[in-house]
């Protein structure tokens, strides 16, 4: 067992490098199933989720080599067998292999997916898309089975702009016969990145990153060397670290447009930014004001930054309101924050926050991935010592987070107990 121990009160300074986006890397790794040629991915964070999906592909007879921050993959020997149920349950993104497996083999059987317990994330929109492309779907005994002779293009309207469903349908449609149009598609940067990866291999995808995506099916995808986009959520977490510790730091590896919803909200708080191409200097040394946030699908404020933003708002004098519209259980970190002295009241999907002068370190838990990041952030400024348990959640989305914070001057370490 491990935990992260943070001693508060240290100012941050220096610079930090951001890894590739986990939420881009996972679907891109799944998409390698669509090609029988060599693929090399660069600047890849060796996160638990990345290792899980790599192990999943290795278990399906893929040649896969991990070295430093690179992954080499060749799926030419891939076999169409039932995927390992334990690995699928361990990480929700494993379900993203269903689209490419259907496209390549016309068959896939997976156990129902798992992941962070932050709310309902049904797979019905994924299955709706596969059905529209001609697949026969059967669900029972904890499994989903899909089969088809060959997928055929169709017009698909998503009831909600689901990121996972959009990605899965894109991957299924790339090798389908004819034209597929996805309407009300998710617009996240990671959708654009997946399409850019596939197009670089020979796919014909237009409109990714907008609400309407058109895919012309092709017969073959080639090999490629590719670097996914930077992780906007990791970058955002470090932006808030500068704000919460009243510090000034430089963050290397950002796309300002991908982070615009967060940057503008932090500016409203009183945080200053100097954008320098793929880097940004974040100055959190000035006075701060409370703000209200409401999570929405991109380009709205990201739900994956809500817990970290709440950690900052807890320490800003005045009243703030946080409304969570994406996941119904994404306030589990509130109980941990109140243990440290935060004043937060919950009414349904809305949190009412009264800023306090200080928080006090204690034992807390990472109730999910982004909540764990929020616990580290408040630990940086809390009086005394904060001990964070269940850090396996954190390791699913941040590579060497304690080392990166130590590089900025934080008093933080990972210990075994």
Binding site listing for UDP-N-acetyl-alpha-D-glucosamine: 92, 121-125, 304, 326
Cα gap 73→61, rounded to integer Å: 11
User: What residues are designated binding site for phosphoenolpyruvate?
Assistant: 22-23
Cα gap 249→410, rounded to integer Å: 12
Active-site residue list: 116
User: What residues are designated binding site?
Assistant: 22-23, 92, 121-125, 304, 326
Provide the Cα torsion 380, 386, 389, 395; round to 10°.
Answer: 20
Neighbours of 181 (CB within 10 A): 17
Tokens 């040629």 — which residue?
37
The full DSSP string for 290-333 is ---EEB-STTSB-GGGHHHHHHHHTTSSSEEEEE--S-TTTTTH
Cα gap 328→120, rounded to integer Å: 7
CA angle centred on 247, ends 297 and 249, rounded to 5°: 70
State the first-to-last Cα distance of the chain, in angstroms, to the nearest integer: 6
């Amino acid at each position: 067992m491990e935990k992260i121990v943070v001693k508060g009160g240290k100012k941050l300074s220096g610079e930090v490098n951001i890894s590739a986006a986990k939420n881009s890397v996972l679907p891109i790794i799944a998409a390698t199933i669509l090609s029988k040629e060599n693929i090399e991915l660069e600047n890849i964070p060796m996160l638990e989720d990345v290792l899980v999906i790599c192990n999943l592909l290795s278990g399906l007879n893929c040649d896969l080599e991990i070295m430093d921050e690179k992954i080499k993959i060749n799926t030419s020997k891939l076999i169409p067998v039932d995927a390992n149920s334990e690995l699928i349950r361990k990480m929700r993104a494993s379900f993203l292999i269903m689209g490419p497996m259907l496209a390549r083999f016309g068959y896939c059987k997976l156990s129902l997916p798992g992941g962070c317990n932050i709310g309902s994330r049904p797979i019905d929109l994924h299955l709706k898309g596969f059905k529209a492309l001609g697949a026969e779907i059967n669900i029972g005994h904890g499994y989903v089975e899909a089969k088809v002779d060959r997928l055929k293009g169709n017009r698909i309207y998503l009831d909600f702009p689901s990121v996972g469903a959009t990605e899965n349908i894109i991957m299924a449609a790339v090798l389908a016969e004819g034209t597929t149009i996805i309407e009300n598609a998710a617009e996240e940067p990671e959708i654009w990145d997946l399409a850019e990866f596939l197009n670089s291999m020979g796919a014909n995808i237009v409109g990714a990153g907008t609400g309407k995506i058109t895919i012309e099916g092709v017969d073959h995808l080639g090999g490629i060397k590719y670097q996914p986009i930077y992780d906007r959520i990791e970058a955002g977490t470090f932006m808030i670290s500068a704000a919460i510790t009243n510090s000034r730091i430089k963050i290397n590896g950002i796309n300002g447009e991908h982070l615009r919803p967060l940057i503008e909200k932090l500016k409203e708080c009183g945080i200053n930014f100097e954008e320098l191409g793929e880097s940004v200097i974040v100055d959190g040394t000035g006075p701060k004001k409370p703000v209200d946030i409401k999570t929405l699908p991109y380009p709205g404020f990201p739900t994956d930054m809500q817990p970290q933003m709440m950690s900052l708002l807890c320490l800003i004098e005045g009243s703030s309101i946080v409304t969570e519209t994406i996941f119904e259980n994404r306030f589990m970190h509130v109980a941990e924050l109140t243990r440290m002295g935060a004043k937060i009241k919950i009414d349904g999907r809305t949190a009412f926050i009264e800023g306090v002068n200080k928080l006090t370190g204690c034992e807390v838990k990472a109730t999910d991935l982004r909540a764990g990041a929020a616990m580290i952030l408040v630990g940086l400024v809390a009086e005394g010592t904060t001990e964070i348990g269940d850090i396996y959640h954190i390791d699913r989305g941040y590579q060497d987070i304690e080392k990166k914070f130590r590089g900025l001057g934080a008093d933080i370490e990972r210990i075994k107990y």
